[in-house]
């Protein structure tokens, strides 16, 4: 078993019309044994920017703390929040810095730019970015997530429809992966509000 699969995870970010959704499962396991069913994989950087970290949970928490430290320094120096593109470059640089002993994480970054344009991207454990115009996925359930998103995605969805599509894609995909699941956690972000919802899924 790969170290990336040790705790199990499923992450997805998808764009809509001037909005985006980012969702994850809630299971924390040690291989096939479930340890927690309310684990938080998605973190808010500021009002319009979120990061989800799939992979090894301990590394994910360490990396998130380092990123928040760097973001707070940026806020103090620049007196503004980081743009999503800038934050993605920061994450990439921090990961590449540790390339010989990497953080075993696969980040998913989703944010809204100043012009309310959604930005999503993912990267591997050494910071190689993959930008997308529709959706990005990460974690042990990524193969089934690709299939579900490919089938369900439509351009320019409104926030409510986007929530529905992301939730259905996540719940149907984690049922095909025994290392992730146990419900879901979805954020839908528009220029005016952030909606957070908990999904109930199969509890086995």
Helix (H) or strand (E) holding 91, with range, is helix 84-97
Q: What is the pLDDT of residue 62?
A: 97
pLDDT per residue as tens digits for the range 33-63: 999 999 999 999 999 999 999 999 999 999 9
Residue 203 in this model has a pLDDT that exceeds 90: no
Q: What is the mean pLDDT of residues 129-154?
A: 95
Tens digits of per-residue pLDDT, 170-186?
Answer: 999 999 999 999 999 99
Element (H, E) at 139: strand 135-139
- B/e letters for 153-177, b = 16+ CB within 10 Å, e = fewer, are beeebebeebbebbbebbbbbbeeb
Q: What global pTM score does this model have?
A: 0.94
Average the pLDDT over 153-164 and give the result.
95
Q: Among candidates 135, 127, 138, which has minimal Cα distance to 55?
A: 138
């Amino acid at each position: 078993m790969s170290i990336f699969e040790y705790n199990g995870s499923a992450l997805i970010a998808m764009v809509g019309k001037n909005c985006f959704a980012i969702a994850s499962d809630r299971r924390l396991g040690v291989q096939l044994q479930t340890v927690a069913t309310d684990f938080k994989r998605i973190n808010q950087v500021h009002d319009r920017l979120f990061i989800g970290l799939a992979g090894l949970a301990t590394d994910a928490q360490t990396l998130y703390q380092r990123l928040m430290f760097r973001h707070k320094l940026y806020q103090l120096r620049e007196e503004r929040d980081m743009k999503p593109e800038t934050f993605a470059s920061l994450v990439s640089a921090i990961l590449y810095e540790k390339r010989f002993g990497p953080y075993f994480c696969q980040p998913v970054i989703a944010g809204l730019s100043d012009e309310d344009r959604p930005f999503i991207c993912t990267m591997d454990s050494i910071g190689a970015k993959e930008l997308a115009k529709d959706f990005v996925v990460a974690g042990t359930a990524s193969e089934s997530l690709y299939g579900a998103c490919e089938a369900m995605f439509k351009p320019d969805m409104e926030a409510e429809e986007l929530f529905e599509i992301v939730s259905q894609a996540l719940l149907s995909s984690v049922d095909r992966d025994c290392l992730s699941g146990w419900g879901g956690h979805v954020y839908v972000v528009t220029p005016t509000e952030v909606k957070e919802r908990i999904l109930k899924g199969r509890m086995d």
